[in-house]
Amino acid sequence: MINKLLILLMTLSLGGCISLDKEEKKQAGLGERSINYYSDKTVTSLEIPPDLTKPSSQNAFKLSEYVSVQEDTISFSEKDNAIKEASSILRAPSNVEVKKAGERRWLVVDKKPDAVWNLSKSFFKSHGFSIKKTNKKIGIMETDYLESHAEIPDQSLGVIRSMLKKALKARYALPIVDKYRIRIEPTDNGNKSEVYLTLTSMVEVITGEGGEAENTIWQSQEKDQALETEMLYRLMTFLGSDHAIAREKIIAAKEEKNLAVSIADGVGGYAKLVFSLNQYDTWDNVGWALDQLEVDVEDKDVKEGSFYINVARTEDLGIFSRMFGDDAVKKSFQIIVKQTGTDKTEVYFNDLSEENEQATIDFSHEFLGNIAKQF
187, 77: one domain? yes
Domain boundary among the residues 252, 277, 309 is at 252
pLDDT of amino acid 248: 93
- CATH number where 292 lies: 3.30.310.80
pLDDT of amino acid 328: 55
Domain assignment present for 14: yes
pLDDT of amino acid 9: 47
Give, for all 375 residues of the chain, the pLDDT tens digit. Answer: 445 544 544 544 444 443 334 433 433 477 778 787 765 433 344 444 444 444 333 333 333 332 333 333 333 344 545 555 554 444 456 799 999 987 789 999 999 999 999 999 999 999 889 999 999 999 999 999 998 755 444 444 445 544 554 454 444 446 788 999 999 999 999 999 999 999 999 988 887 766 777 787 888 888 899 999 999 999 999 999 999 999 999 999 988 777 899 999 999 899 999 999 999 999 999 999 999 998 878 899 988 999 999 776 666 655 545 544 555 566 789 999 999 999 999 999 998 876 768 888 998 999 999 999 998
Domain that holds residue 341: 261-372
Domain assignment present for 46: yes
Domain boundary among the residues 235, 252, 269 is at 252
126, 17: one domain? yes
236, 296: one domain? no
Domain assignment present for 318: yes
17, 87: one domain? yes
Q: Could you tell me which residues are beta bridge partners of residue 375?
A: none
pLDDT of amino acid 316: 62
Domain assignment present for 29: no
pLDDT of amino acid 119: 95
Among 117, 29, 108, 94, residue whose Cα is nearest residue 241: 94
Domain assignment present for 8: yes
90, 213: one domain? yes
176, 324: one domain? no
Total domain count for the chain?
2
pLDDT of amino acid 50: 43
141, 236: one domain? yes
As a whole number of angstroms, the distance between CA 192 and CA 187 comes to: 5
Domain assignment present for 33: no
354, 270: one domain? yes
Domain assignment present for 156: yes
Domain assignment present for 31: no
pLDDT of amino acid 218: 83
Please name the residues in contact with 331: beta carbons below 8 A apart, sequence gap of 6 or more: 310, 311, 312, 313, 316, 351, 352, 353, 360
200, 274: one domain? no
What is the Cα Rg of the chain in Å? 22
14, 116: one domain? yes
244, 306: one domain? no
Domain boundary among the residues 252, 272, 294 is at 252
Among 232, 224, 222, 147, residue whose Cα is nearest residue 181: 232
pLDDT of amino acid 44: 40
As a whole number of angstroms, the distance between CA 17 and CA 22 comes to: 9
Neighbours of 148 (CB within 10 A): 18
Report DSSP letters for 155-204, one per residue.
HHHHHHHHHHHHHHTSS-S--EEEEEEEEEEEETTTTEEEEEEEEEEEEE
Single-letter residue type at 321? S
153, 83: one domain? yes
